[in-house]
Structure 1
Amino acid sequence: MHKIPGYENDPLVDGAYLVDEPLFWATHLLQYTNGVEEPLCAGFGVSEADLWQFYKRVSDEHQWLVLSVPLSAGHLLHVVYRNFPEDNGYDYLLHHPEWDSTVPLATVEGCFRGPGLCWPELLAVAHKAAEAGSAPRLDPHAFLLLLPIMSDAELPLDADDVLAAMLTACGAAGDTRALARTLLEEQGCWGPQNWTLTPGGRISEFRHAFRRPGAMSPDALAQISSLLRSDGDA
């Protein structure tokens, strides 16, 4: 597993082995429902007891899960389950093995910071993470892993269908269309937010976002936008 600056003394473990377990995705998406389990249990066809039992498993203070999505030129987008006793959260960080520090995209916890991605960037990252093939496709694991930090007030008409397909690919066996609609209507702790595409890259208009002028330097904002770039960006 890649070393992550700032977490050298923490009990990090590679969480990649969990991606084929539907309960992992149902639990991971609790971030996007503000802890409300009913729509996730219905969408994944699991019981509340099983969901919270799995949540207890991934919230173990002695094992901080790390899952990573590859970006271009060796860059990575890490998701760290920061399991302090009685105070857990989720850190979404950009990093390159040659960097001495990480660049935060979002933090999901009581004092949240974000959002970290707009919808076109989520699609772009999931496309890059997919294996090369003859037809465009999305990596459902990368898509759902990063969904909790996606916020966008201007979703395309097919957004529900795209998300429902990703949920099904990750083992959801219930009404995935209803779950997708619920997730995209509420969009986590920040709700639907606006983004502005500038010559220096995309910036958020939300006061809690890292990706806003003043919270990050113009160079950092431009670098992030380049790594998360979608084909439709100018």
Structure 2
Amino acid sequence: MALMVHIPEYLVDCELTAGEDLAREPAFWLAHLMLTVGDPTEDPERYGVNTSAYEAMVEHLSNPEEPWPVLRVPFEDGHTAYAVYANFDDANNVDFFVRHHEWGRLGYLGQCGADDAGPGLSWTELATLAETAQNCSEGLTDSSQRLLLLLPMLGDAETPPEARHMVAQALTRCGISSEADELATVLVGEQETGSDPSWTVTADSPIAVCSSPHSPRHIPLALGITPRQAQALADALIGRG
């Protein structure tokens, strides 16, 4: 029986189910990345993924008749990042947010699908969240899986050249056996200084904000939490614990 997940601050009229078991399947990773930042009609065999397995995974991840899959990335000081496959009858989105049990609210990173919003993470934040797995009973602990799950939220003019290699390695480790380098280049994109969002810490909050007006992080993440909580989140996002 699937483990149900309760997120008190999330949508009330939905059922959520733990989706971390999906991470064992290469078809999941290809489907996740194609549904969020790639082309869902791409030939999965090109990347070493069985077509029928891929199509079944896309159908599962997009099915409004089933509980919505949620995958979790716990990180420093009790924070958790979430990816939720929000499947309404008339629209499919993947919601990304962070949560702490003390906040009483969610900090939205962004959304992929019918209503795109983002980016939600700088490269430094993404790399930190990928590497800072916590000893807990829930969520993803593998750094490659954590990196790929949150990769759709990346948007940063200062993404380093080595990012493509790191993503390609993660793809290979998660079972994408062909064209990993080429796919990594597509997924990371051309991060040219001046054309992509910048991230800045202002006097208003220790949490970096994004220059893109389309990003939920155009204002401080989890706006309204206490100064102590904001500092703890800022430190956790960049590994300054």
- TM-score using structure 1 length: 0.82
Tell me how far 1:32 sits from its aligned partner. 4.0
For 1:57-206, list aligned pairs within 5 A.
57-61=60-64, 62-129=66-133, 139-185=143-189, 192-198=196-202, 200-206=206-212
CA offset at residue 186 of structure 1? 5.8
Cα deviation, residue 182, structure 1:
1.3
Q: Deviations over 1:203-230 (max 9, x none)?
A: 1000111112389748689454333124
Cα deviation, 1:84-142, whole Å, max 9, x if unaligned, reads 113110111211234432221111122222111011111101110277xxxxx971111
Q: 1:130 to 1:169 in 2, by over 3 A?
A: farther
Deviation at 1:144, TM superposition (A): 0.5
2:213 maps to 1:210: no
SS of 2:213's equivalent in the other structure is coil
What amino acid maps onto 2:169 in structure 1? A
**Contact preservation (8 Å) 1:37, 1:48:** no
Aligned with 1:67: secondary structure?
A: strand
- Number of the residue aligned with 2:138: none
Amino acid corresponding to residue 54 of structure 2 in structure 1: L
2:28 aligned residue (24, 29, 40): 24
Deviation at 1:69, TM superposition (A): 0.5
Per-residue CA deviations over 1:33-53 (Å, capped at 9, x if unaligned) read 3434437652x3125554233
Given that 1:39 and 1:182 are in contact with CA atoms closer than 8 Å, whether structure 2 keeps it comes out as no
Q: TM-score, normalised by structure 2?
A: 0.80
Q: Secondary structure at the match of 1:208?
A: coil
| CA shift in 2, pair 1:66/1:39, >3 Å | same
Would you identify which runs of 4 or more consecutive aligned residues in structure 1 move more than 6 Å? none
For structure 2, the residue ranges without an aligned partner over 5 or more in a row are: 136-140
Same amino acid, percent of matched pairs = 31
SS of the counterpart of 2:11?
coil
Residues in 2 aligned to 1:226 and 1:49: alpha-carbon distance in whole angstroms: 43
Query: Of the candidates 201, 226, 233, which is equivalent to residue 235 of structure 2?
Result: 226
**Letter matched to residue 234 of structure 2:** S
Q: Is the 8 A contact 2:31 2:58 kept in 1?
A: yes
Residue aligned with 1:129, SS: coil
Answer whether contact 2:74 2:134 (CA < 8 A) is retained. Answer: no
Residues 119 and 24 of structure 1: CA distance in aligned 2, closer, same or farther (over 3 Å): same
Residue in structure 2 matched with residue 134 of structure 1 by the alignment:
none
Deviation at 1:17, TM superposition (A): 0.8
Q: Provide the C-alpha distance between the structure 1 equivalents of 2:51 and 2:226, rounded to a whole number of angstroms.
A: 41
Q: How many residues align?
A: 223
> C-alpha distance in 1, partners of 2:211/2:111?
17
Residue of structure 2 aligned with 1:55, choices 53, 58, 62: 58
Query: How has the CA–CA distance of structure 1 residues 100 and 196 changed in structure 2, closer, same or farther, with 3 Å as cutoff?
Result: closer
AA matched with 1:181: T
Q: Is the 8 A contact 1:114 1:208 kept in 2?
A: yes
2:215 maps to a residue whose letter is A
Gapped regions of structure 1 (runs ≥ 5):
132-136
Contact 2:44 2:50 in 1 (8 A): no
Q: How well do the aligned residues superpose, as a CA RMSD in angstroms? A: 2.9
